[in-house]
Amino acid sequence: MSGFTFRPAVRENVGLLIGLAGGTGSGKTYTAMRLASGMSGGKPFAVIDTEAGRAKHYADQFRFDHGDLRPLFRPDAYAEAIMAADKAGYPVIVVDSMSHVWAGDGGVLDWQEDELDRMAGDDWKKREAVKMAAWIKPKTSHKHMVAKLLQVRAHLILCFRAEPKIEMVKDDRGKMQIVAKQSLTGLDGWIPVSEKNLPFELTASFLLMADRPGIPRPIKLQEQHRALFPLDKPITEESGKLVAEWASGGVKKPAPTSLVQPPATNAATAPESLGIAYISEDQASKIKEGLEFVGFPLEKFCQKSEIASLAYLAADRFGGAMAWIKTLADKGAA
C-alpha cells in the first residue's frame, strides 16, 4: 500500500531563492538589503558576509545581524553558516557573495586544483589523466550544499559577482567574429560566477549593471512574479514585501489580462507595467527547428526555461537559448 498522500495544492510558506548578479558598482549588496528588509516584515534578517565585513557599511540603514564567513570558502562552510542562520529563525538570509564558494580562496576551483596536486603532483601528463577524477570531491560537496539550500525554511537572497564573457562564433558568411557570450544563466555576455547549474535552482534572478545600479534586468523571472518586480526602477523594499506576501499565499492571482494571450507580433511588448519584450514568431521558429535538430523536447525546454510556452521567452534570452542549442548540437557531432 502506498504511503503517499495527495491533497489540493495550496501556495503557502514557499521558500524563495533570489539571485542578484552584477559587476562592481552595480548595487548588489544594497539591493539585497532593500529586498531582504521588505521580505522580513520588520524583523532582523541575517547577512552572511564573505567580503571582509563590507555588508556592515549598511548597518545604519537596515536592521540585520551580521556573520563573517572567512576562507577557506568550502561548500560545507557555506552550508553550515546558512543552516545556522535558518535554525536561529531569521526570516531572510542574505549571502554576499555566493561566488566565493566557486572561485574564492579555497572554493571549488581551488579544491579541484588541490586534488590534482594530491593525485599527480607536478606530473603534467598524469594531471591531465586524472583531471575529471579531481572534480569528484569538490563537486559532490557543492551538490550537497545546494541540496541543503533547497530545504531551508527562510528566504534566501544570493549575491553573485558577474563577469563579461566573449566567444568566437561564425557569422552568416562563415567568418569568425567576437561576440558577447550567450547563456541561459546570464545576459548580454554577463555571466554569474558560480557553478553552472546553481542558477537554475533560483526562484528568480536578475542582472544589475553599474550604469543603472539596482535596476533589474531579468535573467529568470517567471510569469507569476513579473508584476512584483518593475523593470524600470531599482528594486525596493516594496518588491520584497510583495514577493514575501506571494510566497505566503497572500497575493491573489490577478484577473486575466492581455498577457494571457501569447504575443503574436515581432518582439511584442507586455503591458507597460511589466515592460518585457518577448521573442518574435520567427525567433520561436528558429528555436523549435534547433530543438528538433538536436532531439530535445520543446516541453522540456520550456520547463527548463521556467516558461509556460515558447511565446513567453523574453527577447533578451533568445541568444542564450540558441547558443545552448548549438552546444547540444556540437556535443552530438563530437
Is 230 or 12 the better-scoring residue by pLDDT? 230
Please state whether 41 falls in left (phi above 0), alpha (psi between -120 and 50) or beta: left
Per-residue pLDDT, averaged over 317-323, amounts to 85
pLDDT in tens, 19-35: 999 999 999 999 999 99
For all residues of the chain together, what is the average pLDDT? 87
Q: Can you give the pTM of this predicted structure?
A: 0.74
Is residue 167 domain-resident? yes
Cis check for the bond before 97: say yes or no (omega within 30 of 0).
Answer: yes
Least confident piece of the model among 250-259, 264-273, 321-330 = 264-273
Query: Of 233, 254, 275, at which residue does a domain stop?
Result: 254
Q: Which of 254, 280, 300 is the last residue of a domain?
A: 254
| Residue 83 phi, psi (nearest 5) | -65, -35
Calculate mean pLDDT across residues 143-161: 97
The band of 273, judged by pLDDT with boundaries at 50, 70 and 90, is: very low
Give me the CATH number covering residue 27.
Answer: 3.40.50
Same structural domain, 117 and 245: yes
Amino acid in the structure at residue 135: W
**Strand intervals (E) in the chain:** 17-22, 45-49, 64-68, 92-96, 155-164, 166-170, 176-180, 190-192, 204-209, 212-220
Domain extent, residue 142, equals 17-254
Amino acid at 248: S
- The string of DSSP letters for 192-206 reads ESS-TTGGGG-SEEE
Same-domain pairing of 108 and 169:
yes
Residue 90 belongs to some domain of the structure: yes
pLDDT tier for residue 48 given thresholds of 50, 70 and 90:
very high
Asked if the model's pLDDT at residue 331 lies above 80, the reply is no
Is the predicted pLDDT of residue 263 greater than 50, yes or no? no
Task: Work out the pLDDT band at 272, boundaries 50, 70, 90.
Answer: very low
Report yes or no on 162 lying in a domain.
yes
Last residue of a domain, one of 254, 273, 304: 254
> Does any domain span residue 110?
yes
Do 204 and 57 reside in the same domain of the chain? yes
Residue 89: name the closest of 157, 37, 154, 16 by CA.
154
Model pLDDT, residue 127: 93
Greater confidence (308 vs 289) lies with 289
Number of domains making up the chain: 2
* 212 part of a folded domain: yes
